[in-house]
Amino acid sequence: MDIFAEALNDILVKASRNILRLEEESLKTISDTSLSINEMHLIECVGKGKDDGVTISQVASELCITRPSATIAVNKLEKKGYVRKFNCQEDGRVVYVVLTDKGREIDAIHMQYHKDMVNEVSKELDEDQIKYLIGAIHKLNSYFKKSIGEKGIRNDE
């Protein structure tokens, strides 16, 4: 591996770990119960559906998990009071999930955490640096998406 590749790999690995650590620590401070990162991401996914909700299948697809795993995770969050399930009136086999007030509150706090993180990262950058950073990250993400597709991994982003 050349010097650039080693440096880029080191930065990507450390950034990924640090983001997860920060997110985990943030969850500890905003939640009186122990929510995992995966549970928070499920809450975030359900929150995107607003008042209409999202189906279990949509949750599974967005989080790249199986429908049975999504069902188990949703049931766990329902017991904790963050989500509520209901059946579709047109097709009773379809289950929708919406956030409860408690779920909306934690989702809003988590979204604010992400906004604060982005603002903190970008506050020292000028407009050109921000455009360059966004472009570079976009290219990086495009590579990841392409690699995911080539490996046959589900890709929803």
Distance CA 35, CA 100 (A): 15
Measure the CA angle with vertex 109, ends 83 and 30; round to 5°.
90
Res 153: pLDDT: 58
Res 129: pLDDT: 95
Q: What are the pLDDT digits (tens) for 125-149?
A: 999 999 999 999 999 889 888 887 7
Give the residue extent of every domain in the chain.
36-124
Q: Could you tell me which residues are beta bridge partners of residue 83?
A: 99
Res 104: pLDDT: 95
pLDDT over 60 at 35, yes or no: yes
Nearest in space to 63 (alpha carbons), one of 37, 101, 87, 99: 37
Mean pLDDT of the chain: 88
Query: Which pair of structure tokens corresponds to residue 142?
Result: 């495009």
Query: Which pair of structure tokens corresponds to residue 46?
Result: 């359900």
Give the number of other CB atoms < 10 A from CB of residue 90.
6
Put simply, whether the predicted model's pTM sits higher than 0.85 gets the answer no
Nearest in space to 59 (alpha carbons), one of 87, 90, 92, 96: 96
CATH for 36-124 is 1.10.10.10
Evaluate whether 155 touches 149 at the Cβ level (below 8 Å). yes
